[in-house]
Amino acid sequence: MSPPKSWSFGILFLGFSLLFLYRNPSPSPEEMAEEVPSSIYDITVKDIRGNDVSLSTYRGKVLLIVNVASKCGFTNSNYKEMNALYEKNKDKGFEILAFPCNQFGGQEPGSNEEIQETVCTRFKAEFPIFDKIEVNGREASPLFKYLKSQKGGFLGDRIKWNFTKFLVDKDGKVVERYAPTTSPLKIENDIQKLLEAS
């Protein structure tokens, strides 16, 4: 009897994670010494069109921050479920912030214009899409350095793959980090609790 599909996905994901860790060792002392912002609201990012966006814009909102890719095995299911979450909760003070990243298997190779076209046309995403970034290494986005400093992951702080998710409360506190294999809809209860908190 063949193993369940979910097991096969899990084993494949673990194999990729271990390979990535082998090829991308722990941060150097120089990387560790780099200053990490003291608050998520101190960080400014660029949107997909290259405009500066201060994350203080999102003060008072619950955020799901995700590193995304257009050509990953997790892409279709994640975009479908993130769209459902966003549609249901966007008027309650919830935002999804999606950051394209090409560091994992070269699965986000396009330009910002191509990414925007794919995400909006093929995946029908209505939540904000930002500039393509790196999430690990010396060139990692200050936002993802901050997120990793607040919530480490399995086998260290590094982002292991596309669709790692960080949940941030209304005060800007990073309350949870979810593996790429975690379905966005399985996070819904955690989101609802934060939305209902005063």
Backbone angles phi, psi at 26, to 5 degrees: -55, 155
75-89 and 188-196 are packed helices; what angle lies between their axes, rounded to 10 degrees? 20
Q: Tell me the C-alpha distance between 184 and 165, whole Å.
A: 8
Which residues are known catalytic residues? Answer: 72
Q: Tell me the C-alpha distance between 133 and 119, whole Å.
A: 16
Q: Tell me the C-alpha distance between 33 and 106, whole Å.
A: 28
Decide if 158 contacts 148 (C-beta within 8 A).
Answer: yes
